[in-house]
Structures are given as C-alpha cells and as structure tokens.
Chains A and B, each alone.
Chain A
C-alpha cells in the first residue's frame, strides 16, 4: 500500500502541474456557466430600460386604451416598461403603413410594433412584429393587456358592475412550492431545479470524461514506452491500479473544491440560485462514488488499449454510458417517481447522475439513500477486483484489442 501511495502522489502532482489541467480547471466552470446559468439569467431577468413599441391599429378602436393598459407595466423606479407610439396615419395605405413601421424596426428606432387588424372572418388579429422572436415576456404582457382590454370593454358594453371588471382582471397564478420536510418550504421552481441539477451532472460528467481520458492517455504512454515493465517490476499491479485511482480521485477532489469556491463566490454575486446547494452533502457523496467507480473502470478497461485510436474509442464508449442518463433529465424532473427513473437509480452506471437529479427534485427516503450508497460501494469493490485482473494482463497486452473470450480467460486466472 505504501507503493500505491507513491504512485498516487506521482499521478497527482504530475497532472496538477500540467497546463491542460490548469486550463480545464477554470475553463470547465466557465463553459458550464455559459451553458446553464446564463440562459436562466437572461430568461428571467427583467429588462432594465424602457422599450419603444409602436402600435399600428387598422381598426382604430384600440390604440388609446391599449396604450394605457401596456403602460401599467413598470420597471425599477416606477418608470414605464414600454413607451408607446402610434404608427397609424390616415392618409397612407395599409401596405405602406406596414412598410414604414417595418422600416422603423429595421432601423432600430423602435423595438417592435403591435399590428391590430381584422382578418377575413371579421375577427380581431394581433401580431407583435420585431426583429427577434423569442421575447416571451413582452409577448405575454401584450397578450394579457389586450385580453384585459377586450374583457373590460365587453363587460362595460353589457353594463356590468365595474367591480366585476376589476375582479376578472385580477387573475390568480398557481405557484409551485417544493416540500422538503413537513412545514418547511423549498424555494425555486422548475427552472432553478433543472439548472442546478444540470450543473452537477454536467460537472460530474465533464470531470469523469476529462480525467478518464487523461488516465487512459497516460497509461498508453507508459505502455508504449514500456515504462510499465519498470513499474510492474517495482510494485504489484494492484498497487499501481490503486495508486492511479487514488491519485486521480485526489485530483478530482481538488477540482471540486476549486469549483465549489467559484460556485460559492458566484452565489455571492447572486448569479447561481442558492438552492442549487441545498443538498450539497448528498450530492457530494454521489459525486465521489460515481467518480471513483468510473475512474476504476477507466483504469481497467483503458489498460487494454495500445493505440491512440483505440484509446479514443474506449473512452467515448465509456463516456456514452455516463452521458446516457441526461436523456431522462426532463422526465425525471416531471415525474421523479416513474419506474424508469427508479430502475436507473439502482444501476451503478447511471446511479450517480440519476440520484444527483432526484436529490434535487424531491426528497428521497433514507432507506433509498442507504441502498444506493451500498450498491455503489459494492459495485466499486467489484469493479476494483475486475479491473485489477484485466489490468494485470492488459498492461502487457499489445496489438489488437483482446476478444471477449480472452478477457474472460484473464478474469478466470
């Protein structure tokens, strides 16, 4: 075991010094932030300046009331969120009016304009025309404002009590609250749970894939220059295997710690929702278990390759297994109790990422947590033994990849 420690120390310090590692240490969180945090940020953060929006009302019935409705939306400091502009002029034809309004949008004089006209069947048709489609918030507001206006008018037409008008206008929204313990409310809706789960799963995957590749590549180097023979005549294959797994796990831990520090400082900057870290202790354990499991697997399977191409093949197959659960992320969030999710959370290959997901979505009974831990620990023990056997032969195996039968005979010896 002392020699395993020597190997671990070497693997750790040689890799931590490498440029590739230092770059990935900071690049990975940057990529994750770009892909996961930024969209949430952009999607939910209100715009901080007044938008100029035109109204082109061919019916000539809605402009003033509609303008009042829309101007009720405010941004910080009680400033109206939209400045409304009338695009209608009596002396121009509808076609040239539309052209003129389009021109204003193209020239960025207005953000967009709302076109109100009657269609063939004499019913009202409303369009929001702008350069970018995808501003859900604006469109939702224009829709709400227009419908409010219609309902109000209809009710007044029918001589309804004005209080009724106000009553109908005040819609009730359904809020989603996640329950963790009786009487204790979790925060955050679908989006924040989705993104915080994704962050951890992405981190786990990127880390495993990255370090797995690094590991297979370094073993390939040792194999191709026969350093492995010097190593194996200095310590046992098991020492070497343990050393590599320990060294890499230490490296992984360092990575997580650095990333957590980055993450916590980002919470400080209110970029990441705090609730992403609510179940951090459980996530941490699943993270480590998953990492050790896959790393050991990588060492065993990686030992049989003898060319760069084979190394790439093997690492991508293994990575595929790892990435597989992401297919189920949405369905796990919508229905965490579904059978398929339950099944996947007991298969060691998918267990860590599925459990990280489930921990975030809904509370998990203690027995299930204990059971999954146990499964993971047992699988790690099995994988260590299988990998050690494959490793013993694999590291001295050159030429084409061994067949399944050969692998079987290695396992038997």
Chain B
C-alpha cells in the first residue's frame, strides 16, 4: 500500500502540490487525472523521491521511499527517450542492472518481455533504428522488467496506435493480477475510465475529486442522456429542460434538469430531428473532468 500524506511542494511562489493526501491499494489501478500543469508529474516525482517535498510524507508499505526501495519501483516518465546510439539489449541491461538485477535473470526476463510486446527481432538493434512506438515499448520494458512493487506510468498510451494501446492495456491488467500497486497518470479520460477503479482528480496542485470511480459517478449524479441524430439540433440552446450539452459528430450528450423525465425530453426532440438512438447514461469521466475543472463549485 502506498500512502501519501499532506504532500506540499512549492517552487518559489508557485505551489505545485498543495496538501495532497491519498492512498493507493494493491491490485487496483489508481488513476491520477488532471489538466496539463495540474501537478501530476511533480506529485509523481515527489513520490519517487526524485525531488524532496517541502512537507508531507510518502510511505510504501509503511516505509519511507529512500534508496533502499529504489529496486521496488518502476517508472515510465511522460517524455520518452533512451540512449539513441546504444543497442536495445545494452540499454535495458544497464537500466535493469541499476535496479539491482543480474546477468542471467535480465537475459531471460528481457527475452520474455520482448516476446510479450511482439518485438523480439529488435534485441540487437540500435534504439535510433526503431520506430517511435517500438522505442516506447522498450522504455515500458525497462520500467517493468525488474518486477517492481510500485509501478508509476505517466501517459503510457500516448504515441501508440490502437492495436498497441490494446496490447499495453492487456499487459498492464496482467501486471495487476500479481498484486502490484499501479498509478496511472493521464488525461485520456476514456482510457482512465476503462482501467482505473479509483481516481484522484487534481487541479492547480489541489485535490478536486477522489475515490472509487463508480461512487464518484453516482455522487456526481445528474440526469444525462445521449442520442444519435440527423438534422440541426441548435434548438437545444433554447430548451428550458437542458442544463448543458456536448455535441460530437451526430451524437449529443445532454445534461437535463433533475425533474425532467428523459422520455418526455425524447418526445419533444423527436418532432424536430430524426433520432437514430437514444439512451439514458451515467456521466462520463470526461464530462465529470470538464465540469469539475471548469466549475469547481457545482
């Protein structure tokens, strides 16, 4: 279990992390969400002891994160890059060595991982000869090869095509079965929604929302419908029943006032546009994210 208590980190006048407290349990993926510049990366760096917090404490299984725990931590930073001129095998061996692994274990684990991520043919190639996606896979391997207790992944899916995103997702879910503590930092809400069971939403270094995702959805509540249509739906602007709406290509998500019945709303709009499908939905994480950041009081 990872416990973060009253974490504060300031840079001059700027408070990057403002009194954050949260707990990450093993066997679940913990999503750390927030807009750009919210303080996600600073929080991660503080957890990893890369930077020292002004105050607060970080405990991994009741022990402070110091150099003794370095070998139990795996980290995939947001910006990617490896020693370009060096060989895949050499780079991973070096980084695994630094995590306290030894010769033959590294060799067998490396072969296993290269196979799992479908790139065994690149073992003896130079990093710079690999495509961006494959370089990311190499970096992912270097974060997990030493079987860390705590794994922190900062935007692990960015830059991957959908097929490889699926591959990485499956690999992460596999890791979860081994009882790891996994923190996933992202602003891809749909991925977070599918993978994380607990989330922490931060903005300007402060906690905005936290807890079990399904409970958050319930609490956030509201009366939401989603429908597909053909035609012009600008009339939604004038309807009294509507609090807010988002339009995607030929689908709309509408937040209705609590007292409005969805079927009555459907009756009203069906006269004006062709409706292809209509459903009552829970608010998406995306919606919760936008609403909480834009109007924190709601």
Contacts and interface: CB of A to CB of B under 8 A. Distances in A.
Interface of A: 3, 6-7, 10, 14, 18, 221, 224-227, 229-236, 396, 413
A232 B50 contact: yes
B142 interface: yes
Contact of B97 (A6, A14, A413): A6
Contacts of A232: 48, 50
A63 to B, nearest CB: 72
Given A14-B83, A18-B85, A225-B82, 16 more contacts: A3-B98, A7-B98, A10-B97, A14-B90, A224-B81, A225-B79, A225-B80, A226-B80, A227-B82, A230-B77, A230-B95, A232-B50, A233-B73, A234-B70, A235-B67, A235-B70
Interface residues of B, number: 29
13 contacts: A226-B78, A226-B79, A226-B81, A229-B45, A229-B50, A229-B77, A230-B143, A232-B48, A233-B48, A233-B75, A234-B99, A235-B98, A396-B45
A221 B84 CA distance: 9
Contacts of B79: 225-226
A232 B81 CA distance: 15
A233 B83 contact: no
Given A230-B142, A234-B98, A396 B48 contact: no
A222 to B, nearest CB: 8
B134 interface: no
B83 A221 contact: yes
Interface of B: 45, 48-52, 67, 70-71, 73, 75, 77-86, 90, 94-95, 97-99, 142-143
A224 B95 CA distance: 17
Contacts of B77: 226, 229-230
B95 to A, nearest CB: 6
Given A233-B75, A234-B70, A227 B98 contact: no
Contacts of A224: 81
Contacts of A233: 48-50, 70, 73, 75
Given A6-B94, A236-B67, A396-B51, A230 B75 contact: yes
Contacts of A6: 94, 97-98
Contacts of A7: 98
B100 to A, nearest CB: 8
**Quick one: which of A7, A224, A231, A232 has the most chain B CB within 10 A?**
A232
Contacts of B90: 14
A396 B73 CA distance: 19
A225 B86 contact: no
The 10 closest A-B pairs by CB, nearest first: A225-B81, A234-B98, A226-B79, A233-B48, A226-B77, A6-B97, A229-B77, A10-B94, A233-B75, A232-B50
